[in-house]
Amino acid sequence: MKPIVIFIAVLFVAIATDSKSYSQDEFPILEGPYMGQKPPGKVAEPFAPGIISKEGWELEGVFAPGMNEFYFTSNRKSATVTGFRQHNNVWKKYIEFPRTGEIVFSPDGKRMHMAKGYKDRIGDSWSERKSLGPMFDRKDWGIMRLSASAKGTYVFDDYKSNDVIRISTLKNGKRQPPKKMDSVVNTGKWTAHPFIAADESYLIWDSEREGGYGETDLYIRYRQQDGSWGPAINMGDKVNSDKAEFYASVTPDGKYILFNRNFGKGNIDIYWVDAQIIETLRPK
């Protein structure tokens, strides 16, 4: 199993924050879009430094469709998801629960995918976690993250099968058995955490492979005019570094990419960058 997976899965003792950071249970008043943060430019920078991104590990930052909810995972006595909701322009913590799978929202915002399970939105709350069924709830598959398109296509990782990514489509409304994606995606080490665009026009994932900048890097490939998938493209040094970058997602408004950067020694932060890089890298 990859080092990052082991690190995230193991229970940790909470790490004390420095004098410039708020404690795990304290947050300042946050007002305005994007948790009150000034949007980044074309070079990745920490998301909400000292508030969300601080000492210890904070990861899997994701906005829900509508941009009025934000969720991230932190290290307490165990991995814990904290959710914020914006009301009257002010962000307040409204929910907290143990992590049982990395959170990705369906494009319509009605479903919170959590690896092999999911929760459905019920009013202002969420249902109990449900299983995706025997097609996915296999003991020999280690799903960490499952991402869904507007058409209902699922793309997910599997660390129990030597770190591969699989895809499952809908045909005439019927779920098709997952298939391993081609070697363009499933090359290198630690291949994981796929994110498929709502319109299926691109796929982002992380992997460690030759020609990268350090440890795991973020890669992207685009859907071509004939419906096939194009080559893997490293997302470059404005996103990647000599550290490990992983778990990318695009904000539902399409403007920013959030991802994690692992600095080692128990410190993982959430970063973000202008999503215009997706168009910049798109083959002409």
- Give the domain range for residue 152: 3-281
- DSSP state letter for 199: T
Domain count for the chain: 1
Q: CATH number, domain at 129?
A: 2.120.10
- What is the Cα–Cα distance from 159 to 277, expressed in whole angstroms? 28
Tell the burial category of 134 from Cβ atoms under 10 Å away from its Cβ (0-12, 13-18, 19+).
exposed
Contact 222, 232 (CB under 8 A): no
pLDDT per position in the chain (284 positions), as tens? Answer: 454 443 343 333 233 233 345 455 668 889 999 999 999 999 999 999 999 998 888 999 999 999 999 999 998 668 999 999 999 999 999 999 999 999 999 999 999 999 999 999 999 899 999 999 999 999 999 999 999 999 999 999 999 999 999 999 999 999 999 999 999 999 999 999 999 999 999 999 999 999 999 899 999 999 999 999 999 999 999 999 999 999 999 999 999 999 999 999 889 999 999 999 999 999 98
pTM for the whole thing?
Answer: 0.90
What is the C-alpha to C-alpha distance for residues 88 and 239, in angstroms, rounded to an integer?
33
